[in-house]
Amino acid sequence: RRLAAFHGRHQSGVLGDPLPAATIVAFDLATSTRPDLEELLRTLTTTLRALTTGGVAADPGITTTAGTGLLGPDGPTHALESVVALGHRVFTDTFGLAGAKPRRLRAMDTFPNDQLDPAWCGGDVLITLQAHDRDVVTNALREVCRATRGSMQIRWKQDGFTSAPRPTGHPRNLLGFKDGIAGPDPRDDKQMGSLVWADGGEPAWAAGGSYYVMRRIRMLVEFWDRVSTSEQERMFGRRKDTGAPLTGGGEGSTPDYGNDPNGSAIPLDSHIRMANPRTPATAASQFLRRSYSYDAGVDSVGNLDMGLMFGAFNADLDRQFVAVQKRLADEPLVDYITPVGGGYFFALPGVRNTKDFYGSTLL
Ligand code: HEM
């Protein structure tokens, strides 16, 4: 178990591995003045700081469980991690922030294979909470809602899950494949500097932040479960059992496209080869993936309603996520997955110390 440090140049929730229990919640602002926005961001800071560091959120005097929180005085040792991000509509004249917008931030693009439901799209504030225990996440969300009532309202919410990394490697998504293998290493400051943290082209306040893409992608699992393993493997370009690239080696091996120019081992239209052909020109389009499985029950015709909350942190939205998503257009996997929601957000720089708050450089 790790206890997340709350303070730093970056939000710690960006850097940590996905934890088993998560919730991803988009809120709409109910405030329209800059002082109210600042108060909201200060409240979010004190609430999440307390919850992340094992304390309880300040009691606004409306419950009888003052000072103990929903989990009681003997609650678990908290290992809550959070990411707070803003949507493009915050950067308007209403708040005097039109000139401060991260230059790529906008409403999420609609891509060719999308079937977006507006009720599952957008939002002004995106908060991702994750912990080892589901009750810690649920409690934290209720504390956030209680503290910010009147300032913002939930627009959509999806709980997510994964399993903790094991000696056998990365956890699997709901198509049964190990997920989150390739990409920049969060412990490598150089890679994070060029691929994850907003770069010099952005307004100065944004330094230390990151474009946060969230996509709710439904998986047609009944259909997928009738496909042979070898065909599934050719769609991804990796083995289902070990996660190794189909050119050989183990989970951590690099796909060997040089010795497979025609795609006889890893098909040219496989997910990993289209997403990252590993040419010098496409190296700069890699980003940090942070995804969770979701299970939303059963749809109206009795099919399992489940999929992936695909998360990605990018230094430059267009150079990275958008370029990769365009490369993936019409990949064979599109018959088995359907993006139904999500949004583009900007994960704020970290809160530096006990006096600092989310967005202090912006306001
Ligand atoms: C790799 C699954 C959506 C970008 C992978 C891998 C799997 C996978 C199994 C190989 C293991 C790994 O390296 O993590 C899925 C599923 C998706 C999905 C099930 C949807 C339900 C997306 C989307 C994007 C994306 C929307 C970006 C637009 C990538 C990238 C890699 C990757 C960049 C690494 C390629 C490499 O560097 O070798 N994905 N993915 N994926 N995926 Fe996805």
Provide the mean pLDDT of the chain: 93
Report pLDDT digits (tens) over 101-153. Answer: 999 999 999 999 999 999 999 999 999 999 988 998 998 999 999 999 999 99
Write out the DSSP string of 264-318: SSS-TTSHHHHH----GGGGGG--EE--EEEEEEE-TTS-EEEEEEEEEEESSTI
Nearest CA to ligand 1 atom 29: 275
Whether 62 is in a domain gets the answer yes
What is the reported pLDDT for 71? 63
**Ligand 1 pocket residue status of 257, Cβ below 6 Å:** no
Nearest CA to ligand 1 atom 12: 181
Tell which atom from ligand 1 comes closest to the C-alpha of 325: 28
**Ligand 1 pocket residue status of 179, Cβ below 6 Å:** yes
**Ligand 1 pocket residue status of 245, Cβ below 6 Å:** no
**Ligand 1 pocket residue status of 221, Cβ below 6 Å:** no
Whether 237 is in a domain gets the answer yes
Whether 5 is in a domain gets the answer no
User: DSSP state, 61?
Assistant: S
Whether 1 is in a domain gets the answer no
Kindly give the distance from the C-alpha atom of residue 274 to the centroid of ligand 1, in angstroms, as a whole number.
10
Split into its structural domains, the chain has a count of 1
Gap between the Cα atoms of 343 and 345, Å rounded = 6
Element (H, E) at 183: none
Whether 195 is in a domain gets the answer yes
Nearest CA to ligand 1 atom 22: 310
Whether 4 is in a domain gets the answer no
Whether 310 is in a domain gets the answer yes
What is the reported pLDDT for 66? 39
Gap between the Cα atoms of 202 and 42, Å rounded = 23
Whether 337 is in a domain gets the answer yes
The whole domain housing 198 covers 12-347
Nearest CA to ligand 1 atom 33: 275
